[in-house]
Amino acid sequence: MNTENFTFSRRHFLRTGGQSLLAPFVITAAGTLRAQQKADSAETIKIGLIGCGGRGSGAANQALSAYDKNSKLVAIADVQDAQIDKALANLSAIHGDRVAVTPEKRFTGLDGFKKLLATDVDVVILATPPGFRPMHLTAAVEAGKHIFCEKPMAVDPAGYHLAMAAVAKAKEKKLNLVAGYCWRYDAARQEGYKRLLEGDIGEVVASSHTYHTGPVKPMPKADTRPAGMADVEWQIRNWYNFSWLGGDGLVEQAVHSIDKLCWGQKDLPPLAAVGVGGRQIPAEGGNIFDHFHIAYEFANGAMCHIASRQIPNCFGDNSDVVTGTQGRLLIGKVGGGDPLIDGAKRWRWKGRKKDMYQVEHDVLFEAVRHGTVVNDGDRMMNSTMVAILGRTAAYTGRRITWDEITQSTLDLAPEETLGWGDKFEPTPMPMPGVTKFV
């Protein structure tokens, strides 16, 4: 195990306000040398995977199954050798010799991502715990790689600003940047939200979104921690349960529903948020909530709500209701499944379904091959920060404005360096009314 310290650079990052209006992804002509080299050529597209847990391995499988079959996985990085071994075995069983990672291009340790980015990969998949995402995104852009970036893109305002700077740099370099907000690549929801944004339900006045499910990665009991295992290793192995690594369930999981909430508001930021949340099921050592309810206020007068829960033996639901002056868009159990517009312009989706996870990579690799650029950057960062805003409102019990959260100095990460064997005491379990807004 490589225990070399990884230096965080967020502390001295120049904080900026969120002044730009945020738009959906755009496709433009690419001008990078790399894109020109790959466009309509017979050259193999080389893929690198950073973070090879379940989502990372799944994304690598989809990348190798994408539109462009002339691609190979040639480099891989993770903090654990066992994870790399498992991922390579599973991917090789599916894709055979298109998994071509030599011993020299498998990198273990917190600094493994830097070594992978120094190789000749063309496309990199970022799928580590999201607390590392801003730094990995920044490094990938600086290295000139095309990127698939899993959600969320940050867990705190400091990381948000770092990632936003990377998005701007990716635009300058004309790099492809596809976000893991998979519902944006679902044909049924694309058509439903297209009709909504074209006015088929009138002016949007409210929306309600749910993400009710069971525990995702429950915190193990403290007595199962191996003797001598340091804080950082223990926390990374159980990353979902620590806000500095996972961002909490609202930011890590329910952000999918928040992304759809933002979609219905034209990807414009809210004015403010008020939230409630807490922890019903005790977790030894973790510091995240297991339920939230957030109300977002928008400049057009709309009130948009998100409710999430990760508690066993409870009602499960993942639905969206967007209410307008002339009807409603219903998705999920509330609408009987596929998107439905109930109103003057009644409509139900009846098209052909495709795997949205696969479509993300089809779009990315088609762009790389043909020299166009897909950039999801602005909207992916907006949805991420809207989730951080809601979580912060629930943690503190305050009404927090968009201006306040974008000017916040909150940084949940360790001070300046992070080593696999380091001690680190994360922030305590939040308590609304007691936890301060920073």
pLDDT of residue 336: 80
Q: Are residues 159 and 249 in the same domain?
A: no
- Cβ-contact 49, 73 below 8 angstroms: yes
CA dist., res. 85 & res. 72, Å (int): 17
Apex CA 262: angle with CA 363 and CA 151, to 5°? Answer: 50
In the sheet that 400-401 helps form, which strands lie side by side, from edge to edge?
Answer: 347-348, 337-343, 327-332, 320-324, 204-213, 303-310, 291-297, 272-278, 400-401
pLDDT of residue 416: 65
Is 426 part of a structural domain of the chain?
no
Please identify which residue in the block is written with the tokens 């943690």: 395
Q: Are residues 200 and 324 in the same domain?
A: yes
pLDDT of residue 375: 97
**Model pLDDT for residues 271-310, shown as the tens digit of each residue:** 999 999 999 998 889 999 999 999 999 999 999 999 999 9
- Cβ-contact 22, 379 below 8 angstroms: yes
- Structure token pair of residue 60: 């690598």
Question: 96 by DSSP, 3-state: which?
Answer: helix
Q: Are residues 32 and 165 in the same domain?
A: yes
- Structure token pair of residue 284: 């030894």
Q: Are residues 276 and 329 in the same domain?
A: yes
pLDDT of residue 337: 83
The single-letter DSSP state of residue 348 is E
pLDDT of residue 41: 62
Is 421 part of a structural domain of the chain?
no
| CATH number of domain containing 103 | 3.40.50.720
Computed from CA positions of residues 134, 233, 255, 356, in that sequence, does the dihedral angle turn out positive or negative?
A: positive
Is 218 part of a structural domain of the chain?
yes
CA dist., res. 250 & res. 103, Å (int): 38
| CATH number of domain containing 262 | 3.30.360.10
Domain that holds residue 123: 6-184+359-377
Q: Are residues 149 and 207 in the same domain?
A: no
- For 92, 132, 136, 168, 222, the CA distances from 79, given in Å and listed in that order, are 20, 12, 14, 29, 22
CA dist., res. 31 & res. 415, Å (int): 39
Is 432 part of a structural domain of the chain?
no
Is 313 part of a structural domain of the chain?
yes
Q: Are residues 142 and 219 in the same domain?
A: no
Q: Are residues 238 and 146 in the same domain?
A: no
Nearest CA to 264 out of 234, 304, 233 is that of: 304
Backbone phi, psi, residue 282, to 5°: -55, 145
Q: Are residues 205 and 331 in the same domain?
A: yes
Q: Are residues 29 and 136 in the same domain?
A: yes
Residue 39 burial (10 A CB sphere; 0-12, 13-18, 19+):
middle
Is 68 part of a structural domain of the chain?
yes
Is 289 part of a structural domain of the chain?
yes
pLDDT of residue 28: 35
- Cβ-contact 417, 7 below 8 angstroms: yes
Q: Are residues 216 and 132 in the same domain?
A: no
Is 227 part of a structural domain of the chain?
yes
What is the domain count for the chain? 2
Segments in the chain below pLDDT 50: 1-37, 39
Q: Are residues 197 and 289 in the same domain?
A: yes
CA dist., res. 309 & res. 273, Å (int): 18
Q: Are residues 204 and 164 in the same domain?
A: no
